[in-house]
Structure 1
Amino acid sequence: MYKIFIAEDDERIASILSSHLHKYGYEVSMAEAFDRIKQEFLEKNADLVLLDINLPYFDGFYWCRQIRAVSNVPIIFISARTDELNQVMAIEHGGDDYITKPFHLEVVLAKIKSVLRRTYGEYSSALHQETQVVELGGLYIYPDKFEAEWDNKRISLSQKEFQLLSIFAKEHDRIVTRDELLEALWDEIEFVDDNTLTVNVNRLRKKLGELGIENAIATVRGQGYRFCVNWKDE
């Protein structure tokens, strides 16, 4: 039974979500002290977080960063903010998906099922079927830790960043189309804004930049991306 932690200060919305998810067999807990969401998350040992943006004390972006500092658990934002900027900010702060209010409960359920399959289910098994360290141009990828290392520097990756890097490393000799990446990273393409993929690619670029690897992911206009292994000659 998957455990879901809801951080939503509107008691009516939190109650509706909790009741609906309970019906589908999920174990649900709700935030009680909104100044200690990170601590409550750790205490509940949740498998997934539903996180509002407008919260007392600190906003959802802050709490997403706090949770990301200790866990790669999937985080889905649920917010009344419908503008693209907030959706981009949610992903840049470490969120995995974004649902706008008002929402259909079946859409919420579909997104939860999708991200849980990606993280813990059949797709996760495929993702981890090779636990051996991958090496490419001096870049080492650690599947069991969601980490990458180059030139004695190491970074931690979110699940989506790790999936992207794994795909790019495997297909580094060809262009990977955006549709291929969308299908590989999300189950229900119709629920995913194309901009979400762009944000995740840019997050991975930034992480690789922290290692000193620049311009590894080249955008091929109108087609997709190519992973360039030219840093090994720098």
Structure 2
Amino acid sequence: MKNETILLVDDEKGLLKLVETILQKEGFQHIVLTMTAAEALTQISRRQFDVIVLDVMLPDMDGFELCREIRKTTTTPILFLTARSSDFDKLTGLALGGDDYITKPFNPLEVVARIQVQLRRQRMNRNQNETSVGRVFDYGAICINKDEGRITRNGTEVACTSKEFELLAFLCENPNRVFTVQQLYERVWGPFCNGDDKTVVIHISRLRKKLENDPKQPDIIVNLRGIGYKFIPPSMEGER
């Protein structure tokens, strides 16, 4: 039996039961079903979830707005599962803090596989935290503590999603090294995830807004046009 706790949020009871049944067959037993945003927020206030699967079209609140509310209190991975399939909707979901976006109709086994990818990545991070030391990148104004999963800017903690943190941590581990968008996607999201270049670009844009003095003229996460991105530690900006 798997110990992770999963929250499913959708106003279609049949869909909830379908996904729940598939997850149970895969060994997941701690599954909470909710049909409204209010119920979801209540559950999130009561316990810590390992993954949240979220519909966009809910009766009492837009799922994008719900994602924004969830991100005020937790970095738990959020997977959107929705009939809204336009590129604009997908980009909106990712920009607001979603970690993945699946459109209906869907293959239930694919949903389970996407959930397992998120959980596997979390387990790997926890194991690394238990065995690694000296995993603090302190650049004065900006500090990234991998052991605590915290980012601070000028002493104030910066709220970020799990994927934002993983992306920044990866870049910190490889300072001044250029990565293509595809390389970043494979290193952070995994080679078998379904996504596109926009996913990486959106996450970098969100990090810039949180870390750069001027996000439109970044000094830390810079873009080499036609090549890719690289992280320049603030204390080493002069080497750019």
TM-score, normalised with respect to structure 2: 0.86
For 1:31 and 1:202, how far apart are their aligned partners in 2?
Answer: 32
**SS of residue paired to 1:191:** coil
Q: Which residue of 1 aligns with 2:21?
A: 19
Report the count of equivalent residues.
Answer: 233
C-alpha change, 1:160 and 1:91, in structure 2 (3 Å) is: same
Instruction: Report sequence identity in percent.
Output: 29
Q: Is the 8 A contact 1:47 1:73 kept in 2?
A: yes
Deviation at 1:91, TM superposition (A): 1.0
- Give, as a single letter, the amino acid of the residue that structure 1 aligns with 2:221: I
5+ long unaligned stretches in structure 2? none
Aligned to 2:101: 98
Cα RMSD after superposing both structures: 2.5
* Cα distance between partner residues in 2 of 1:189 and 1:218: 26
When the two structures are superposed, what TM-score results if normalisation uses the length of structure 1? Answer: 0.88
The range that moved more, 99-108 or 42-51, is: 42-51
**Deviation at residue 169 of structure 1 after TM alignment:** 1.8
1:138 touches 1:232 (CA, 8 Å); kept in 2? Answer: no
* Kept after mapping to 1: 8 A contact 2:11/2:36: no
- Provide the rounded CA distance (Å) in 2 between the counterparts of 1:45 and 1:140: 26
> Residue 223 of structure 1 aligns with which residue?
227
Q: Distance between the aligned counterparts of 2:36 and 2:90, measured in 1?
A: 25
Distance change >3 Å, CA 73–CA 24, structure 1 → 2: same
Alignment partners' CA distance in 2, 1:34 and 1:69: 15
Aligned runs of 1:1-234 on 2, under 5 Å? 1-26=3-28, 27-119=30-122, 121-126=123-128, 129-130=132-133, 132-136=135-139, 138-209=141-212, 214-229=218-233
Shift of the 146–161 alpha-carbon distance from structure 1 to 2, 3 Å rule, reads same
Q: Is the 8 A contact 1:136 1:169 kept in 2?
A: no
Q: C-alpha offsets along residues 164-196 of structure 1, whole Å, 9 cap, x if unaligned?
A: 211222222221222321122122445122211
Say whether the 8 Å CA contact 2:56–2:64 is kept in structure 1. yes
SS of corresponding position for 2:110: helix
Task: Give the Cα–Cα distance (whole angstroms) in 2 for the partners of residues 127 and 200 of structure 1.
Answer: 23
Could you tell me which runs of 5 or more consecutive residues in structure 1 were left unpaired when the two chains were aligned.
Answer: none
Distance 2:77 2:213 in 1: 23
